[in-house]
Amino acid sequence: MSGSGVGRAEKAWDGDGIVGELREELLDRLETRADMARREISFGRTARALMLYIPGMVQESKLEAIRTEMAAFPAPEHPEDGEAAAERLKLRLQASGAERWTGGLEELLKEVQEGSTALLAEGLPDALLVDTRHIEARSLEEPISEAVLRGPRIGFCESLEKNAALLRSYGSVPDLAMERLEVGSAVRKPLLIVYMRDVVQAGLIEEMKLRIRGLEGDDFPESGYIEQMIEDNSYSPFQQLQNTERPDRVMSGLLEGRAAILLEGTPFALIAPFTLPMIIQSPEDYYERWLPGSLIRMLRFFSALIAMFTPALYIAFTSFHPGLIPTKLALTVVGARQGVPFPSLIEALIMEVSLEILREAGLRLPKPIGPAMGIVGGLIIGEAAVQAGIISPILVIVVAITAISSFVIPVYSAGISIRMLRFGAMFSAAVYGLYGVVLFFLLLLSHLSRLKSFGTPFLRPLGSYRAHDFKDMLVRFPLPAMLERRRFLAADRRDPAKPSE
Binding site for other proteins (CB under 8 A): 320-321, 323-327, 329, 432-435, 437-439, 441-443, 445-450, 457, 459, 462-463, 465, 497-499
Closer Cβ to other proteins, 387 or 500, answer by number: 500
CB of 442 vs other proteins, minimal distance in Å: 5
CB of 500 vs other proteins, minimal distance in Å: 10
Q: In angstroms, rounded to a whole number, what is the distance separating the alpha carbons of residues 445 and 59?
A: 55
CB of 185 vs other proteins, minimal distance in Å: 35
CB of 377 vs other proteins, minimal distance in Å: 30
CB of 446 vs other proteins, minimal distance in Å: 4
Closer Cβ to other proteins, 12 or 324, answer by number: 324
Helix (H) or strand (E) holding 39: strand 37-43
Do 319 and 344 form a contact (C-beta atoms < 8 A)?
A: yes
Closer Cβ to other proteins, 380 or 467, answer by number: 467
User: What 8-state DSSP symbol labels residue 16?
Assistant: -
Closer Cβ to other proteins, 262 or 313, answer by number: 313
Angle ∠(419,474,461) on CA atoms, nearest 5: 90
Closer Cβ to other proteins, 220 or 320, answer by number: 320
Closer Cβ to other proteins, 311 or 457, answer by number: 457
CB of 324 vs other proteins, minimal distance in Å: 5
Closer Cβ to other proteins, 375 or 497, answer by number: 497
Closer Cβ to other proteins, 128 or 451, answer by number: 451
Do 398 and 307 form a contact (C-beta atoms < 8 A)?
A: no
CB of 25 vs other proteins, minimal distance in Å: 57
Helix (H) or strand (E) holding 178: strand 176-183
- Nearest CA to 453 out of 264, 297, 240 is that of 240
Q: In angstroms, rounded to a whole number, what is the distance separating the alpha carbons of residues 250 and 370?
A: 32
User: Per this entry, what is the length of the chain?
Assistant: 501
Q: Is the dihedral of CA 78, 84, 88, 91 positive or negative?
A: positive
Task: Give every strand in the sheet of 37-43, ordered side by side.
Answer: 11-12, 37-43, 47-53, 117-121, 127-130, 98-102
Q: In angstroms, rounded to a whole number, what is the distance separating the alpha carbons of residues 435 and 437?
A: 5
Angle ∠(190,192,194) on CA atoms, nearest 5: 180
Q: In angstroms, rounded to a whole number, what is the distance separating the alpha carbons of residues 149 and 285?
A: 11
Q: In angstroms, rounded to a whole number, what is the distance separating the alpha carbons of residues 51 and 36?
A: 10
- Return the bridge partners of 38, or none: 52
Burial state string for 126-138 with b = 16 or more CB within 10 A and e = fewer than 16: bbbbbbbbebeee
CB of 345 vs other proteins, minimal distance in Å: 16
Contacts of 434 (CB under 8 A, 6+ apart): 313, 316, 317, 320, 321, 324
Strands 117-121 and 47-53: antiparallel
Closer Cβ to other proteins, 323 or 368, answer by number: 323
Closer Cβ to other proteins, 2 or 294, answer by number: 294
- Strand, coil or helix: 407: helix
CB of 457 vs other proteins, minimal distance in Å: 6
Q: Is the dihedral of CA 451, 454, 458, 461 positive or negative?
A: positive
Closer Cβ to other proteins, 248 or 469, answer by number: 469
CB of 429 vs other proteins, minimal distance in Å: 12
CB of 464 vs other proteins, minimal distance in Å: 8
